[in-house]
Structures are given as C-alpha cells and as structure tokens.
Amino acid sequence: MRRGPLALVCGLLVLAPAGEEAGAIAAASTHELHLVYGDLAVEGTVIAGRIRFFKDDLESAVGPLVNATSLTLEPGPEADALVMRYVRENLRLEVAGEELEASLVDSGTDDLDREPMWWVIVQYRAPSTPDAIHVSNTLLFDVFDDQRNIFKFVHFPDETQRTFYFAEGESEHVVRF
C-alpha cells in the first residue's frame, strides 16, 4: 500500500498522549479528530484516487441513508453501494460545466494508528482533459461541526500538486493546473 506524505501527516495528527491523559481521551471518544482525506490523480480525462474515512465516522454518516440509528459496515457490495451513494451526494466534481459521476474501483478497511479506517478508490471521467476542476466537498459535514477534509490532487504527467482544505463555509474550491 502506498503511503505518501499526507498519510504520514494524518497519522501524526491522531497520535494520543500517553498515560492518564490518554485514558481520559480514549474514554471520551474513540478519536477526537474528524478528518477525511483523499489523494486524487488527474491524467488525461481520468480523475482517480483513494479517499479515507474513520470507519465509525462514516458509519454515523451512512446510517441515516437506510434509517438506521446504528450501523456497522462490513466489506461487500451492500456497503460499497451505500458508501458510494454517500460519496456521490457529498463529493461533487465538475469539469467544463458537467458534473462527473464517481464510480467505485475498490474499497476496503485498514488501520491508522490503531483506528479502523474505511477507504474507497473512486474514478471519474471528464468530457475533456481538465485544466480546472470545481470541487464541492461536504463529506461528514452533516455529522460533525468540526469536520475537516484534506484532498490532494496531482496532475500527470507534470506531477503538479494542489492540496485543498475543506471545512464548513469552505466546502468549494477550483483546482487549476
């Protein structure tokens, strides 16, 4: 599994203090950081990459889609369909005035500093090679007041990188290459 600098930074952000303070934090919640991050590559007309969620945060977000007050996601087609429904509603990419449809390439679970994570690899196809992508990202804003999303876009073949921070009131950005 490829881990870039953003994964390292996010891993460092969720480290908890040791000793009694760590116990108090663990008792208060599983994790206090509400963060989604994505690494997306742009090459030709294809935009694709991985988006990672804290699993319990994502479960809180998708439960209402099926009228569930509590939901445990298990890998499989049902979870994939539910998660992609949520992603499509809350992460919108537009190129040349056309909204792009996200398709699922793969999904799975892993851990980030012992925290269960859920990831999806998504792909979008633009009508033409984009020089700008309008991004609206409200992932988990409906669940947490302090939700933050960090997304990195890398344009190929020149490897130009753009990183964007999404928060309440800052949910839209234009990615230009």
Question: What confidence score (pLDDT) does residue 22 get?
Answer: 41
Q: What integer best gives the mean pLDDT of the chain?
A: 86
Sheet bearing 91-95, strands edge to edge: 98-99, 91-95, 132-137, 172-176
| CA proximity to 29, closest of 142, 144, 151, 137 | 144
d(CA 53, CA 148): 11
Amino acid occupying residue 138: T
Angle (CA) 129-35-51 rounded to 5° is: 35
- Bridge partners, 8 (sequence order): none
Assess whether pLDDT exceeds 70 at residue 13.
Answer: no
Q: What is the pTM of this model?
A: 0.81
Sign of CA pseudo-dihedral 85, 90, 93, 98: positive
- Bridge partners, 38 (sequence order): 51, 151
Tally the residues of the chain: 177
Question: What confidence score (pLDDT) does residue 26 get?
Answer: 40
Among 18-27, 110-119, 145-154, the range of highest mean pLDDT: 145-154
Helix, strand, or coil here: 59? Answer: helix
Residues 6+ apart with CB under 8 A from 125: 45, 46, 47, 100, 101
Mean pLDDT across 42-53: 98
Assess whether pLDDT exceeds 90 at residue 53.
Answer: yes
Q: Specify burial of residue 146 (Cβ count, 10 A radius: 0-12, 13-18, 19+).
A: exposed
Assess whether pLDDT exceeds 70 at residue 17.
Answer: no
- 59-104: pLDDT as tens digits: 999 999 999 989 999 999 999 999 999 999 999 999 999 999 999 9
Position 14 confidence tier, pLDDT thresholds 50, 70, 90: very low
Mean pLDDT across 120-146: 97
Question: What confidence score (pLDDT) does residue 105 get?
Answer: 98
Q: Which residue has the tokens 């009131």?
A: 169
